[in-house]
Amino acid sequence: MSSAHLTNSLSVDRRSFLQGMGLGLALPWLESSAMADAPHPRRLVCVGNHLGFYPGNFFPKDAGKDYTPTSTLKPLEEHRDALTVFSNLDHELNGGHKAVQGFLTSIKKEEAAGFPAKNISLDQIAAEHVGSSTRFPSINAGIQQGTDMCWTRAGVHVPPVNNPATLFRGLFVNSPDSEREVERTRLKNRGSVLDALRDSANALNRTLNVADRDKLDQYLTSVRDVERRLQMSKEWLDRPKPKSPIEEVQDEERQHIDEVAVFYDLMALALQTDSTRVATFETGLGFRTAELNLGSYHGLSHHGKSEGRIEQLQVVESFLTTKLSDFISRLKEAKILDDTMIVFGSGMSDGSSHSNRNLPVLLAGGGLKHQGHLVCPAQQHKRVPLSNLWLSVLEWFGSESERFGRSTGTFSPMKIG
């Protein structure tokens, strides 16, 4: 996929324009990390958990850097200076499990046609910006299906790789010459078909009414998206892959808790070898917790305020943040944490009530001046959209997006509040 620099239709300076509109740009801790000053490539990692995090286990009671960590945040204590926890952010969607798909988009699939960029997700805009600079514009991994976190500009779901061995082979195992020839032929044939489809669509466009032209434009957007991916594949087809610093991950049955660690290790290696600069990891609805000597995770999420179930949720959620902590440690050791922004959270808040309000969200790394626990305005008329934060993350990454999802500007709760 070639790099997609989104067109800036404004003739005035972008920062001056946003400030003039009263939107503000970003908190100083985001502005201080301007992409133009970065000597190293920026990286983005998005981690989503379908069943959310119990609010009482996640959000600290006090604000600022000296907050008392909750059970879910305790495993991250050694990285306190490298992360910010946010309260009172949400993606403005309702629908329980169905709204989880909007964590990185703020737009449901069913309403995507009404937005210029459809329901493209945060990671995929970053992947467009990277383009063919790396072998993979993004890698998407996950435990089970069901989170539906990643979406292209054409509104197409990007399914996660659920097998660590498959991801390892994609990153480090070179295909035989015979397989590359087959792939080369496939790419050529697909390119020819796309050329014919595009020519036919352009000819048809002259005979359509406004509504049908809009539908055709959506179709052509899908075609262009496929073309970008084809071009990326051609550029990297004959380039050798990096040598893996670890033994090959075997294709074998694993417990889900073991897969989490392996996927995090592979994501770290993918970033270190510059095989990609954008990675996502999803913990799906079917994540098994029997290995932690607990009942069904989905069942526990429907805790009904039962103290026993909430205590068991503490075990699951602490496990997930412990693995995140290990991942952050790996990036620190590799000296790439300051150039890597980690988004962690969920499009679900409390699984028991199926609430999509006040979502559990934290950012880690990125070389930011982190704020500890940042409490955004809770009043409905002053609420800050989660997509404002994502727009600032994209700005940090280097993408010149003017808007994202339902954003009203970049992240500036100090001004709004």
pLDDT along the chain (417 residues), means of 10: 30 33 37 49 96 94 96 98 96 89 93 88 95 91 83 89 92 79 67 65 71 67 62 71 92 92 96 96 89 84 85 93 98 97 94 89 95 92 92 94 91 52
- State residue 188's pLDDT score: 67
For residue 230, being part of any structural domain is answered with yes
Tell me: do 95 and 235 sit in the same domain: no
- State residue 84's pLDDT score: 96
Tell me: do 195 and 88 sit in the same domain: no
- State residue 183's pLDDT score: 67
Last residue of a domain, one of 239, 266, 294: 239
Tell me: do 65 and 197 sit in the same domain: no
- Using an 8 Å Cβ cutoff, are 227 and 190 in contact? no
For residue 6, being part of any structural domain is answered with no
Domain count, the chain: 2
Tell me: do 193 and 83 sit in the same domain: no
Tell me how long the chain is: 417
Q: How far apart are CA 288 and CA 109, in angstroms?
A: 27
Tell me: do 381 and 405 sit in the same domain: yes
Last residue of a domain, one of 191, 206, 239: 239
Tell me: do 214 and 263 sit in the same domain: no
Tell me: do 85 and 162 sit in the same domain: yes
Tell me: do 36 and 169 sit in the same domain: yes
Please tell me whether the overall predicted TM-score, pTM, comes out greater than 0.85 for this model.
no
Give residue 197's domain range. 175-239
Q: How far apart are CA 252 and CA 165, in angstroms?
A: 8
Tokens of residue 332, six digits? 């620190």
For residue 131, being part of any structural domain is answered with yes
- Across the beta sheet with 139-143, the strand order is 139-143, 278-283, 43-49, 340-345, 361-365, 83-87, 372-375
- State residue 26's pLDDT score: 39
For residue 168, being part of any structural domain is answered with yes
Amino acid at position 48, single letter: G
Task: Specify the DSSP class assigned to residue 61.
Answer: S
For residue 4, being part of any structural domain is answered with no
3-state helix, strand, coil in the chain (%, to 5): 45, 10, 45
Tell me, letter by letter, the H, E, C secondary structure of 274-304.
CCCCEEEEEECCCCCCHHHCCCCHHHHHCCC
Tell me: do 150 and 192 sit in the same domain: no
Tell me: do 157 and 297 sit in the same domain: yes
The CATH number of the domain holding residue 81 is: 3.40.720.10
Helix (H, G, I), strand (E, B) or coil at 103: coil
For residue 3, being part of any structural domain is answered with no
For residue 249, being part of any structural domain is answered with no
Tell me: do 189 and 86 sit in the same domain: no
Tell me: do 185 and 264 sit in the same domain: no
For residue 45, being part of any structural domain is answered with yes
Q: In terms of Cα–Cα distance, which of 129, 128, 111, 122 is closest to 150?
A: 122
Last residue of a domain, one of 239, 269, 284: 239
